[in-house]
Structure 1
Amino acid sequence: MKSEQHFQEPICNWLESIGFRCEEMAGSVPEIGRIKIFSGNDYVMQLILVHLGTWLNEDLPKKMQTTFELMTIERAAGNQCVVVWEDYWISKPEIVQSRLSAMLGRSYKIPARLTIARRIEKKDAVSFLESNHLNGSVMSKFRYGLFLPSRYYRVLAADFEAYRGGDELLVAVATFSHPRIFNQEGETVRSYELIRFASLLHTNVMGGLDKLLNVFVKDRQPDDIMTYADLEWSEGASYRKLGFEMKGRTPPIAFNLDVNTMTRTSKSTDSEGQVTVYNAGSIKYVKPFEYAS
């Protein structure tokens, strides 16, 4: 399958290398690529591919809304559907592949019960998130990590030989905000935000987020924790399983993309190669907590 306009070919080549089959879809928005992914004869996921060259088309942002509506319909039918931007594929291909692999069930599984949870230093959280989270690291107040002791390295594949040198391996990180304190129905509420969560590339730490949340709650005793699900990747089913409640949607956010460096920022510059792009928005989730008197 070949496309001059989109970047289906390298993505499909990678998917086929891990045992999947791709099928290009004809869409109502020809500027945006859509492919179906099959495992054998079973349809397992749809990808929506946003090519930067077509983003300069002044009508495309409006057409993206149509595509996002199709994404919502696809998910409502029970199918996985992900938006992949070309700049992410070019600048962070391994992270994109890792996330897709996890969703397709091809990541190496690490049971969270084998790990040890504890607070970590800012520099360690930043380094881990820059290497393992699609959006990198941002400011945070509290940082926690899950460490796999060397006695359990046997659960790792040979691919992880480079990580086996120490007594333990950092396999997941979660970061949290300062508390936001406000009055609600006459009661003082301390609300924290779960800012980032990421697992080590090509791994799925099963129960990892739940374990990190439990340690944070024990330490800080929040009245609630809020977070956001990136609609380009999912509608937050994993949060709902952990007791988070949907509290509404946020509109698409504008970013300034430098097509020379493939980096996104919230601030505009005078760079000639800068274009404005919009994400699909997000869903806000909140998990309340109650404590025995």
Structure 2
Amino acid sequence: MVRPSDFASTVAAWLQGEGFRTRSCSVCSSRPLLLVRGAHSTVALHLVPTPRSSDAVLPARVPIALSDSFATRRQTLVHLWEDQWDEHPRIVRSRLLAKLGRSERVMARQTVARRIDAATLDAFLVSNHLWGSTKARYRYGLFRKRDERLVAVASFSARWNMRREPGATARASHELIRYCSRRGETVVGGISKLLSAFAREAEPDEIVTVIDRDWGEGGGWATLGFRPLRRLPPVTFFVGPDGRRCHLGAGSNPHRRRLPPALQAEASEAEGEGGDALVERRLARRGYFPVSDAGAERHLLVLAPPAPPAPQSAHSPKYR
């Protein structure tokens, strides 16, 4: 029997206080899981304490293996990281409650879709999305008709010409970068309404998006017409002495916390000398330990069928 960590006990106590029935179990070399009975199904929580020594670091393969196992059985698994629970308590708790079927339902027909500015998008995402905000070319919001309250947002990239096969006609492709609703609320039909508003204006041939496997396999996207394209590798962060995760590498997103400049320089030098293993050893000496998510999956929504390949003429090499 796996002895529950303080983190696991805290999560279980909160869920029980919310009226949910829970029970502990262990799988995959005694990884602790908390099974929670929701309104419509059971959700498994993989509870991952923040590592405070190299011995406590969870191998990157473990979250992936667990996600694959639950996906095969068509069961919902959420990887719940202690550092995110501590740093974003309202967002994490809201997402868990939504997974368990407890959130206020707002019908999309009760809203109107409109373009919003970057400041409005950033403020909403920072308050409601675990990944925060990022740059986007197109920004939309859903406003409740009765009081003009913003209840959901979506952001999209600029257009790029995509050829998915050699010789194929270039297609107008965009990325759905972010979507989320207000904490504590689920907008039924919200993403469909925002996709439609964007499609009317930008006239894309296709839209791609990335599904965070830490929060399940994103089965709801299939009902919108999205299909899986490819699996993306896990991202490794480093949790410092303050218990907060940092990104390794440079970047311009102000909402992403980076390693202190001196540590970043040391990590870059170590990467050139000995790769990831040396980076982890150097940062561990400074009290920074790696955590790796379960990866992500890129999905594709085709809005306009691809053009058939151009017929080859008698003068093409094939007919010579």
User: For the superposition of Structure 1 and Structure 2, which TM-score range results when normalised by the shorter chain?
Assistant: 0.7 to 0.9
C-alpha deviation, 1:200, in angstroms: 0.2
Residue aligning to 1:176: 156
Cα deviation, 1:242-281, whole Å, max 9, x if unaligned, reads: 0011111011122233341614324244453433321111
The letter for the 2-side match of 1:70 is L
Looking at structure 2, the residues matched to 4 and 203 of structure 1 have their Cα atoms a distance apart, in angstroms, of 31
Q: Which amino acid aligns with 2:11?
A: I
Looking at structure 2, the residues matched to 43 and 211 of structure 1 have their Cα atoms a distance apart, in angstroms, of: 27
The match for 2:186 is 204
CA distance in 2, matches of 1:259, 1:139: 30
Q: Distance in 1 between matches of 2:292 and 2:197?
A: 35
Q: Which residue of 2 aligns with 1:155?
A: none
What amino acid is aligned across from residue 173 of structure 1 in structure 2?
V
Q: Percent identity?
A: 33
Residue 231 of structure 1 is aligned with which of 213, 229, 234? 213
What secondary structure does 1:192 align onto?
strand
**For the aligned residues, what is the CA RMSD?**
2.4
Using the alignment, how far apart are the partners of 1:284 and 1:182 within structure 2? 15
Letter in 2 for 1:51: P
| CA offsets 1:35-55 (integer angstroms, 9 cap, x no match) | 111359x96111001111367
- Match for residue 8 of structure 1? 8
Are residue 241 (structure 1) and residue 223 (structure 2) matched?
A: yes
What residue in structure 2 maps to residue 156 of structure 1? none
Q: After the TM superposition, which residues 1-293 of structure 1 pair with which residues of structure 2 at under 5 Å, given as runs?
A: 5-30=5-30, 32-38=31-37, 44-53=42-51, 56-57=54-55, 60-61=58-59, 64-149=60-145, 151=146, 167-183=147-163, 185-260=167-242, 262-267=244-249, 268-269=259-260, 270=262, 272-290=286-304
State the secondary structure of the residue aligned to 2:13.
helix
SS of the aligned residue for 1:212 comes to: helix
Distance in structure 2 (CA, Å) of the matches to 1:55 and 1:174: 39
The residue type paired with residue 201 of structure 2 is D
Q: Is the 8 A contact 1:45 1:81 kept in 2?
A: yes
Over 3 Å counting, the alpha-carbon distance change for 1:59 and 1:186 in structure 2 is closer
After superposition, the Cα gap between the structure-2 partners of 1:59 and 1:109, relative to the gap in structure 1 and judged at 3 Å, is closer
Whichever residue aligns with residue 54 of structure 2, its letter is: L
The secondary structure found in structure 2 opposite 1:25 is strand
Aligned residues: 271
SS for the counterpart of 2:55 is coil
Q: Which is strand-richer, 1 or 2?
A: 1
- CA apart distance, 1:105: 0.6
Partners in 2 of 1:116 and 1:279 — Cα distance? 35
Normalization by structure 1: what TM-score? 0.84
- SS of match in other structure, 2:135: coil
CA contact (8 A) 1:3 1:9 kept: no
Could you list the runs of 5+ residues in structure 2 that have no partner in the other structure?
Answer: 250-258, 264-285, 308-320
Q: Note the C-alpha offset of 1:183.
A: 4.2
Structure-2 separation of matches of 1:38 and 1:243: 29
Code of the aligned partner of 2:289: V
Structure 1, unpaired ranges of 5+: 152-166
